[in-house]
Amino acid sequence: MRLLFLLASFYLQNVFVFCSQPKRVVDQMYVSFDHARYCVRRLNGTHEIGCQSAIRGNSGRMFMIDNDKEFNSYLNDNKTMNSFDAFIIVLNVNLFDSNHIDRLMKRLDTKLNGLLLYLKSKSAR
């Protein structure tokens, strides 16, 4: 009986260890951008990697773009484009690909002073 108990507990422990797929902290901190070719700064609690701002800083009118509809609407809004000298775009990470970034860079050219990426949470706030 004791041997059966030991075998069962050993089996359950192995099933638990092999079936659970723990994520490392580093996998939870970073999002991989496979097709990005632009300068990117990744931040965590202790280190900074990548580009930085100009000596006097970068500032501009901030616009948040969450989806393709907002992206296209923003790029086609000539009144907005001509009203401000500089822009900082807050972009959903799902739109961070070479197609969207190329269009953004072509439209804004030297007016783009910053690009912030965010991952939209699925939980309600």
Render pLDDT for 30-75 as a digit per residue (tens, 0 to 9): 666 555 455 556 666 666 666 666 667 778 889 999 999 999 999 9
**Residue 32, CA distances (Å) to 21, 42, 71, 88, 100 in order:** 19, 11, 22, 22, 17
User: In the prediction, which pLDDT does 119 show?
Assistant: 85
Domain residue ranges in the chain = 35-118
User: Are residues 62 and 90 in contact, defined by beta-carbon separation less than 8 angstroms?
Assistant: yes
50 backbone φψ class: left, alpha, beta (φ>0; ψ -120 to 50)? left
Is the model's pLDDT at 101 over the cut of 80?
yes
pTM above 0.85, yes or no: no
